[in-house]
Amino acid sequence: MQLIHDVARWRAYCEDQRANGERVGLVATMGALHAGHAALFDAAKVRGDHVVATLFVNPRQFNDANDLTRYPRPRDEDRALASAHGVDCLVEPSLEEMWPDYPNATATTVSVRGIGENYEGASRPGHFDGVTSVVAKLFTITGPCRAYFGEKDFQQLAMVRQMVRDLSFDVDVVGCPIVRDDDGLALSSRNVRLGPVGRQRALVLSSALRDVGSLPANASTLRSRLRATLVDAQLDVVYADVVNPVTFEPSRDDEIGEARALIAANVDGVRLIDNGTVTLEREER
């Protein structure tokens, strides 16, 4: 596995791979890698891509300075996992190259309106602007590629797809299924901050999603059932809703077909998100 630390070499490396007939598969990460990231690397390898992974803790997407400070940075373990899962090139760019004016505000921001204004966008002001700005920069430097994102951050995935469509990036965005631990908890770098009791309480998120996922009904029924399960478990609910998976508008009762249930909750001081597919059906009056 090759390590690259500067933008010029990163850009040239990707250009060289394409010149040699390779298709670049990009996996953007902030490190603290786990089996969810490994699944993205594996998905790219299965498709025959030359896998370029980025490891950059992006300060612009943290609206809480303490959260940024606490973010884990196990660099040696990250490199080992990436290498073990076939990453061909790991890019670890410096903060100075990625955001030369930091900690001052960067003059240019990429913002996706609509999709990014509710749920995570409302709960974490500025977060999504930081995400889409850095992803736009990753795409610009990497060039034409397939880019792999996990569905756990489903709103982020929808925003990236919209940005690619709107700005005509030569990027094929591939969404990959949520990876869960044996107990059902969606894998996240934040999970290590859960104690044994907190982890047990956190399992309500995935069980609530399984419940509504097995119950075709109208949006109001699914929404109410989802929220009631979380409230009954005495979780600190940030949001729980059923939405259109493309526009992220709240689903209406006259809609049928596939929708997405979204959850965010604080569990013992740890903010967790999860989501799952639900089926909308009209209910008889």
- Active site (catalytic) residues: 37
Burial string for 74-101 (b: 16+ CB within 10 Å, else e) reads eeeebbebbeebebbbbbbbeeeebbee
User: Using the 8-state DSSP alphabet, how is residue 187 labeled?
Assistant: P
Closest CA to 52 of 139, 163, 162: 139
Are 151 and 178 contacting, i.e. CB atoms less than 8 angstroms apart?
yes
Rounded Cα gap, residues 16 and 148, in angstroms: 21
Of 77, 97, 10, the residue nearest 37 (C-alpha) = 77
CA-based nearest residue to 133, from 112, 157, 162: 112
- Residues 74 and 31: beta-carbon distance below 8 Å: yes
CA nearest neighbour of 196 among 185, 207, 206? 185
CA 134/CA 142 separation, integer angstroms: 12
The CB-side HSE value for 102 (13 A sphere, CA atoms) comes to 12
Query: Is 93 within 8 Å of 54 (Cβ atoms)?
Result: yes
Angle between helices 154-167 and 127-142 (to 10 degrees): 50
Tokens 């995570």 belong to: 120
Best CA proximity match to 94, nearest among 64, 58, 148:
58
